[in-house]
């Protein structure tokens, strides 16, 4: 069960598909994306359009696209987010609680929380987010700020997290989604995170995006090949030295 069931793309509103973001190959032929699982991953090469879509969804949810929630007062820079204006989100039921979390803008968000004073960061582990390490502050945000009914949009959460902490994140996701309360959409390059059981994985390496199995992802195949045969892979990689 997912709250957000479908995203429809209203292409008739677009005059020219030759400019960003309407020219992104993974997105330009999509009519609808369906969400059947509580946990959905966006995977694909760098620059394939994952963040662009995630931010457009966040904007439609009313979340601050710099990496906060509805109540967050960080100013939005919406110049390049016109994708959101052609999306229709179908909900059952509609939820307004949730969050967009981006590693790139997490620093700004931490500064914003700090500027509100100790009462504000009480719900983030009782300590200024800047006085916690990147990974610690990220997890304390996830553990303390997420909860209840909501839709959580995470953009490369692994950027801050050790492999061990990525496993912790899998547990947090599990706790939040297992009773059907939380829906997650996560853009990731991490073969650990995308292994979450029964998740849907959308590959942005196709035009339009398609659903793939875990084992079909390049992330799984390259990582597996590398770990199983590191010497050979490195030898081939450096063969013209
Ligand atoms: N503001 C912008 N103006 C023009 N092009 C942009 C803008 N932002 C992103 N792009 C381009 O749109 C494409 C998709 O970018 P996007 O950030 O969505 O990729 P991504 O899949 O999230 O990549 P990564 O895995 O590296 O985070 C890229 O080719 C990028 O160069
Ligand atoms: Mg991205």
Residue ranges of domains in the chain: 4-105+148-214
Q: Is 46 in the pocket of ligand 1 (CB under 6 A)?
A: yes
Which of 17, 44, 48 for mutating ligand 1's site (highest number of atoms within 8 Å of CB)? 48
The protein residue with its alpha carbon nearest to ligand 1, atom 5, reads 20
Helices (H) and strands (E) in the chain, counts: 7, 9
Beta strands in the chain (DSSP E): 4-9, 32-34, 39-43, 87-91, 98-102, 150-155, 182-187, 200-203, 210-212
Strands 98-102 and 150-155 come out as parallel
CA neighbours closer than 13 Å in the CB half-sphere of residue 165: 16
The pLDDT assigned to 150 comes to 92
CA 97 / ligand 2 centre spacing (Å)? 23
Contact 127, 74 (CB under 8 A): no
| Atom 16 of ligand 1, residue of closest alpha carbon | 49
DSSP 214: G
The residue whose CA is least distant from atom 27 of ligand 1 is: 46
Q: At the top level of CATH, which class does the domain 4-105+148-214 belong to?
A: alpha beta
| pLDDT for residue 21 | 92
Per-residue pLDDT of the chain (241 residues; tens, 9 = 90+): 689 999 999 999 998 888 899 999 999 999 999 999 999 999 999 999 999 999 999 999 998 876 556 555 555 544 444 799 999 999 999 998 988 988 777 777 778 888 888 888 777 778 888 888 888 888 888 777 777 789 999 999 999 899 999 999 999 999 989 877 899 999 999 999 999 999 999 999 999 999 999 999 999 999 999 999 999 999 999 998 7
CB of residue 219 inside a 6 A radius of ligand 1: no
pLDDT confidence of residue 80: 43
């Amino acid at each position: 069960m997912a709250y957000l069931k479908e995203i429809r793309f209203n292409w008739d509103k677009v005059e020219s598909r030759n400019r960003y973001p309407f020219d992104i190959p993974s997105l330009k032929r999509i009519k609808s994306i369906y969400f059947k699982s509580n946990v959905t991953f966006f995977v694909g090469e760098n620059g394939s359009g994952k963040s662009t879509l995630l931010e457009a969804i966040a904007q439609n949810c009313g979340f601050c696209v710099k990496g906060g929630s509805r109540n967050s007062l960080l100013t939005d820079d919406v110049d390049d987010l016109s994708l959101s204006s052609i999306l229709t989100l179908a909900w059952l039921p509609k939820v307004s609680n949730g969050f967009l979390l981006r590693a790139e803008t997490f620093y700004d968000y931490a500064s914003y929380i700090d500027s509100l004073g100790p009462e504000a960061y009480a719900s983030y582990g009782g300590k200024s987010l800047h006085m916690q390490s990147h990974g610690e502050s990220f997890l304390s945000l996830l553990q303390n700020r997420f909860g209840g009914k909501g839709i959580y949009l995470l953009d490369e959460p692994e950027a801050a997290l050790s492999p061990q902490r990525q496993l912790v994140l899998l547990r947090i996701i599990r706790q939040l989604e297992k009773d059907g309360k939380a829906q997650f959409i996560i853009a990731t390059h991490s073969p650990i995170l995308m292994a979450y059981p029964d998740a849907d994985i959308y590959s942005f390496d196709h035009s339009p995006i398609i659903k793939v199995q875990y084992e079909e992802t390049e992330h799984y195949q390259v990582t597996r090949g590398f770990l199983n045969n590191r010497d050979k892979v490195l030898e081939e990689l450096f063969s013209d030295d």
